[in-house]
Chain A
Amino acid sequence: MKVEKSAVAGTLESSDAMVTIEPGESGIELELSSVVFHQYGAQIQKLVYDTLHNLGVEDAKISIVDKGALDCTLKARIECAVFRSNGIVDNLPWGGAIR
């Protein structure tokens, strides 16, 4: 999947994350700020790459402001942002690209 336009998902509430995704040209450019940066920064980085890879996204600028979200929340916010960037809001591929 390609990132067609910029899109946002999530909130800045505690235990959530705000994900902003934009079209990119040279791979995945991640900008991460997190309240648990020391303890989970590396894990979140891996989760971002894995989730985008799973969706077939190769080029994107992604910015995450994490307020201590669990992996499941982060993953859902990233997937949502990617689908919104493609204008897809229904008939989502549950169990397929979204696993």
Chain B
Amino acid sequence: MLNSVGREIPEEIIKLTGKEVFQGAFAKDGVEYQRAAPVVKPVMSNTTSKMVDSIHEALVKCGVRDGMTFGFHHHFRDGDMVVKLVMDEVHKMGIKDITICASSLGRAHDFLVPMMEDGTVTNIESSGVRGEVGKAISHGKLKGLAIMRSHGGRVRAIQTGESRLDISFIGAPTCDDYGNCRGIGGKSDCGVLSYSHVDGNHANKVVAITDCLVPFPNYPPHIPMAKVDYVCVVDAIGDPTKIATGAAKPTTDVRKLTMADYCTQFVVNTPYFKDGFSYQTGIGGASIASTISLTKIMEERGIRMGFGVGGLTKPMCDLLDKGLVNLLLDTQDFDLSAVSSLTNPRHHRISAGAYANPFNKGAFVNKLDFVILAALEVDVNFNVNVVVGSDGIITGAQGGHPDTAAGAKCTIVISPLLQGRIPAICTDVTTVTTPGETIDVVITEYGIAINPLRQDLIEATKDTDLPFCTIEELRDKAYEIAGKPEPVQFGERVVGIIESRDGTILDVVREVKEFKLDK
């Protein structure tokens, strides 16, 4: 069945998943639903200990068995050790058919590939997958389907009961013996535990895993004891050198600086750029450079930001230090400056649900004026792909991309015209991961295209000297330089679905086929 971004969703996938096809970014607005609730085992006796001696004991006490779904969070990024600690034990116990429902998976999880091959892990639900796991899925090594969903979409899926978490594991930088978890302090400081809030609320069993046990009560907790069944102390839950890195040096790449400059010029010429505006940006070189150049104009014109939200980096925290932003609302910390900025009383932690869940009674993304995003590919219908590489291999993650794009009043995508030889602006994206109706502006070093749906933005910026053109002109320029790319050849088997933030199917990902040249 054809969905509203023109993608053919096979009937057997609709039947298998029980999901509908995508009908538009706001098709489910106002549609009521029943929330799922977990099974809870109360602790009434004052002699009950939540401490367990090992991951093995935690798994046994949680009643681990074949076919369970496990929740994990990715605040430790490439330094994560929690998934490995748990899955190695599960593997040793001979448990099969596990669904991993993680907020994201990355290069720290390459070890999962043999577990996919031997049937320990048969389903993966994640924001996306980088590294070897992505390759393995694209080569058909996962028995079930991979479901790729946004950060807001994960919260939605758990709250509606589409994903039922049997056991969630929360890597806690500090924790006490009764399960009060904090994201700050200890050896594996990640600052926040935003992605785990929904696990705390909805998983049947919650296991806190820490490498820094502190005296009770570890207060104020980010995941409170009332939601935690067991506490397990291990040697290390993360590699601090890969969790929060030093702040990235501002880019000196002229191409990125040019795009950053175009972005800032565009932003300041829209009607939304006024005192109290709200803003989110990513961690790419051009995004960070545009935050830095925007800071200058804010200082010159005496315009302050109301709030900044999302995953944070040093340039956003600098705004707070300079008094240029009223509040920072934090879901993830990408560098040490962001972690240390959390001591500022105006730097607040929020849950992934509060941030982006489309099935909340309103999430923070809905209050965004601007979001600055990146892309692997953008097509002439403004559809964006951030998950599947142009070679057909799963290589990225949705993160908050579709959530913020849908929420923000002005959604800007920055991308160089070519990524290596691959045209980033193309006729059809390999896979649709954010629908074009939610993308307003595409900025490249060769020109800027505004979505024709946004005549108001075209009108507001028409007197600037920015290099506007159509999205088709950008594509033509890219094809002129690099040549027109042949479409990637896929096999028949569907290995994954791209779930829209509202739970419908935006696109499917097929197994890659080995490409051979005709002699």
The interface of chain A, by Cβ under 8 A from chain B, is: 14-15, 32, 35-43, 45, 67-71
Contact = CB atoms under 8 A, between A and B. Distances in A.
A70 B391 CA distance: 17
Given A38-B486, A39-B486, A40-B483, A69 B515 contact: no
A38 B420 contact: no
B421 A41 contact: no
Nearest to B489: A38
A71 B483 contact: yes
28 contacts: A14-B420, A15-B420, A35-B391, A36-B390, A36-B421, A36-B485, A38-B390, A38-B486, A38-B489, A38-B515, A39-B390, A39-B422, A39-B485, A39-B487, A39-B488, A40-B421, A40-B483, A41-B515, A42-B486, A42-B517, A42-B518, A43-B483, A43-B486, A68-B420, A68-B421, A68-B422, A69-B421, A71-B483
Given A38-B390, A39-B391, 7 more contacts: A15-B421, A38-B391, A38-B515, A39-B487, A40-B421, A41-B517, A45-B517
A15 B422 CA distance: 10
Most central of A35, A38, A40, A41 by chain B CB within 10 Å: A38
A69 to B, nearest CB: 7
Nearest to B393: A38
B179 to A, nearest CB: 47
B422 A36 contact: yes
Nearest to B482: A70
A67 B482 CA distance: 13
A68 B486 CA distance: 14
Contacts of B483: 40, 43, 71
Interface in B467-508: 481-483, 485-489
A80 B482 CA distance: 21
A70 B517 contact: no
Q: Which of the four size classes fits the interface of chain B?
A: 10 to 19
Interface of B: 390-392, 420-422, 481-483, 485-489, 515, 517-518
Contacts of B481: 70
Contact of A35 (B392, B420, B485, B515): B420
A35 B420 CA distance: 9
Q: Provide the main secondary structure of the chain B interface.
A: loop
Most central of A15, A39, A45 by chain B CB within 10 Å: A39
Contacts of B485: 36, 39-40
A36 B483 CA distance: 12
Nearest to A69: B421
Nearest to A66: B421
Nearest to B419: A68
Contacts of B486: 38-43
A38 B388 CA distance: 14
A36 B420 contact: yes
Contacts of A45: 517
Contacts of A14: 420
Nearest to B391: A38
A70 B418 CA distance: 11
A35 to B, nearest CB: 7
Contacts of A35: 391, 420-421
A71 to B, nearest CB: 6
A42 B514 CA distance: 14
Contacts of A69: 421
A17 to B, nearest CB: 10
Q: Which 6 A-B pairs have the closest CB atoms?
A: A68-B420, A39-B485, A68-B421, A38-B488, A38-B515, A36-B421
Nearest to A37: B515
A36 B419 CA distance: 11
A83 B185 CA distance: 63
Nearest to A72: B481
A94 to B, nearest CB: 23
A38 B389 CA distance: 11
Contacts of B482: 40, 70
B100 to A, nearest CB: 29
Most central of B390, B421, B483, B486 by chain A CB within 10 Å: B421
Nearest to A43: B483
Contacts of B488: 38-39
A40 B390 CA distance: 11
A35 B421 CA distance: 9
A2 B161 CA distance: 70
A36 B422 CA distance: 7
A15 B421 CA distance: 7
Nearest to B483: A43
B310 to A, nearest CB: 29
A38 B517 CA distance: 9
A76 to B, nearest CB: 15
Contacts of B517: 32, 41-42, 45
A19 to B, nearest CB: 16
